[in-house]
């Protein structure tokens, strides 16, 4: 039997592939500090669960393919508070931001087409592009420069006749970088001038630590036909298991094409949509408290990384990740060693090895992504373990 060339181009997730080693550690009673997956430990607002408990309809029916009206209207109100007016028909509800990306890629890519993405990038972008017949064309960045990419000199030379879109994550996963308004405008201008879609993954929008206002590519005038916003409740409301996201764009032709796929997959889970609609009424004080907590964690992990000889990283400005270059030869091998041979007082740690966040061959193997989703005490212990482990690993 034959498998498709598309799926054979895909790789297993670099974030989840060490799960068997984790299971073995658990059986030995070894505690693992999980910095590998962006699963927040912040409590989901109770409005989500209350909305489910209050539902008493006798039949759990299909939802409308574009999404239930109350959720679409809640998303509308959210963007209106950001000063961005969207019509209901500008919003399609999806099964998480992941399905939103899959739908968009299938709408804009033919075999061999390219999407420009600054690397390192969220690894699933590569999988989604490959499954749609396309490929990621990377914009290289470097840890010594804080993974900065927002210049014409870095972006425009990589645009070819196969380029269909520029895809950015702002704030960034895995780098924690945040674009300035001037950089956002520059990227938007490049997309418009070259007649490209601009896909802006903004699922970490609430998590910025410099006091700047929340921002979106959707606020930039003159880019209505180019801009596609990918959004999700997963990180914003610490509701990763809800699996509700959205495609938001004023490009009506694109929305009509996307609707074909939405109708073919019937609908997003009805109960999750109803519960997520209630989430959008969460008091702003919730976000202020969550943002302050993540800032403390950011400060903790960055300070501790600076104490480890040979580590190269810049202070992340948003999201809840930090990308770092470690003084090791291979992050995959080091992670395997951490889970099979290293422990200190019955404890070790996990991270996401950097190689899978890059499309350029041979790049990123000495880099890692840490998700600072643990409390400050646990982060401190995890970084102390890392320092000890690096010294022991390199002394073998």
Instruction: Check whether 40 has a pLDDT greater than 90.
Output: no
Instruction: Check whether 155 has a pLDDT greater than 80.
Output: yes
Instruction: Check whether 14 has a pLDDT greater than 80.
Output: no
Calculate the dihedral angle through the C-alpha atoms of 316, 317, 320, 323, rounding to the nearest 10 degrees: -20
pLDDT confidence band for 17 (50 / 70 / 90): confident
Region 354-376: mean pLDDT is 94
Calpha distance 109→364 (Å, rounded): 27
Give every CB contact of residue 388 below 8 A, 6+ residues apart in sequence. 344
Calpha distance 300→94 (Å, rounded): 35
Region(s) of the chain under CATH 3.90.1150.10: 5-43+285-394
List the one residue out of 170, 166, 184 whose CA is nearest residue 221.
Answer: 184
What token pair was written down for 113?
């087409």
Q: What is the DSSP string of 194-232?
A: TT-EEEEE-TTTT-B-SSPPP--GGGSTT-TTTEEEEEE
For residue 225, list its beta bridge partners.
none
pLDDT confidence band for 13 (50 / 70 / 90): confident
CATH for the 5-43+285-394 domain, from 3.40.50.2300, 3.40.1030.10, 3.90.1150.10, 3.40.50.1370:
3.90.1150.10
Calpha distance 147→168 (Å, rounded): 13
Identify the pLDDT of residue 12.
Answer: 78
Give the pLDDT confidence of 380-395 residue by residue, as tens digits.
Answer: 999 999 999 999 999 9
List the one residue out of 283, 271, 255 whose CA is nearest residue 86.
Answer: 255
- Which helix (H) or strand (E) covers residue 5, if one does? helix 5-8
Calpha distance 3→8 (Å, rounded): 7
pLDDT confidence band for 145 (50 / 70 / 90): very high
3-state secondary structure of 168: strand
Give the pLDDT confidence of 206-237 residue by residue, as tens digits.
Answer: 999 999 999 999 999 999 999 999 999 999 99
Identify the pLDDT of residue 4.
Answer: 92
List the one residue out of 274, 206, 229 whose CA is nearest residue 86.
Answer: 229
Calpha distance 192→168 (Å, rounded): 15
Give the pLDDT confidence of 239-255 residue by residue, as tens digits.
Answer: 999 999 999 999 999 99
Instruction: Check whether 183 has a pLDDT greater than 90.
Output: yes
Region 284-308: mean pLDDT is 96
List the one residue out of 215, 271, 228 whose CA is nearest residue 92.
Answer: 228
Region 123-149: mean pLDDT is 95
Region 44-73: mean pLDDT is 94
* CATH-assigned architecture of domain 47-279: 3-Layer(aba) Sandwich (3.40)
pLDDT confidence band for 287 (50 / 70 / 90): very high
Give every CB contact of residue 223 below 8 A, 6+ residues apart in sequence. 188, 191, 192, 198, 217
Give the pLDDT confidence of 314-356 residue by residue, as tens digits.
Answer: 999 999 999 999 999 999 999 999 999 999 999 999 999 999 9
Identify the pLDDT of residue 19.
Answer: 86
- As a whole number, the mean pLDDT across the chain is 95
Give every CB contact of residue 171 below 8 A, 6+ residues apart in sequence. 177, 178, 204, 205, 207, 208, 317, 318, 319
Region(s) of the chain under CATH 3.40.640.10: 47-279
Give the pLDDT confidence of 82-108 residue by residue, as tens digits.
Answer: 999 999 999 999 999 999 999 999 999
Instruction: Check whether 199 has a pLDDT greater than 90.
Output: yes
């Amino acid at each position: 039997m034959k498998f498709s060339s598309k799926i054979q181009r895909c790789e297993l997730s670099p974030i989840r592939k060490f799960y068997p080693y984790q299971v073995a550690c658990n059986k030995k009673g070894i505690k693992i500090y999980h910095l590998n997956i962006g699963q927040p430990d912040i409590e989901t607002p109770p409005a989500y669960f209350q909305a489910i408990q209050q539902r008493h309809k006798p039949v759990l029916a299909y939802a409308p393919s574009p999404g239930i009206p109350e959720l679409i209207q809640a998303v509308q109100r959210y963007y209106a508070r950001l000063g961005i007016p969207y019509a209901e028909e500008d919003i399609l509800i999806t099964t998480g931001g992941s399905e939103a990306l899959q739908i968009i890629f299938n709408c804009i890519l033919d075999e061999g087409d390219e999407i420009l993405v600054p690397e390192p990038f969220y690894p699933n972008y590569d999988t989604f592009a490959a499954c749609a017949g396309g490929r990621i064309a990377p914009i290289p960045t470097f840890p010594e420069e804080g993974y900065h990419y927002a210049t014409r000199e870095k972006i425009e030379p990589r645009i070819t006749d196969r380029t269909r879109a520029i895809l950015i994550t702002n704030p960034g996963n895995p780098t924690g970088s945040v674009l300035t308004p001037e950089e956002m405008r520059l990227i938007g201008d490049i997309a418009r001038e070259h007649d490209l879609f601009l896909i802006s993954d903004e699922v970490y929008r609430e998590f910025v630590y410099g006091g700047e206002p929340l921002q979106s590519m959707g606020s930039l005038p003159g880019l209505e036909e180019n801009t596609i916003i990918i959004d999700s409740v997963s990180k914003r409301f610490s509701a990763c298991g809800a699996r509700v996201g959205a495609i938001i764009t004023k490009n009506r032709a694109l929305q009509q094409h996307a609707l074909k796929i939405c109708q073919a997959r019937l609908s997003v889970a009805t109960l999750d949509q109803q519960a997520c609609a209630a989430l959008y009424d969460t008091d702003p004080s919730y976000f202020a408290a969550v943002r302050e907590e993540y800032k403390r964690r950011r400060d903790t992990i960055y300070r501790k990384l600076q104490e480890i000889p040979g580590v190269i990283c810049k202070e992340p400005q948003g999201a809840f990740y930090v990308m770092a270059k470690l003084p090791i030869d291979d992050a995959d091998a080091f992670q395997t060693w951490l889970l099979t041979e290293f422990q200190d007082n019955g404890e070790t740690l996990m991270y996401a090895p950097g190689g899978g966040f890059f499309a350029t061959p041979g790049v990123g193997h000495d880099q890692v992504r840490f998700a600072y989703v643990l409390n400050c005490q646990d982060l401190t212990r995890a970084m102390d373990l890392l320092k000890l482990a690096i010294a022991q690993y390199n002394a073998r």
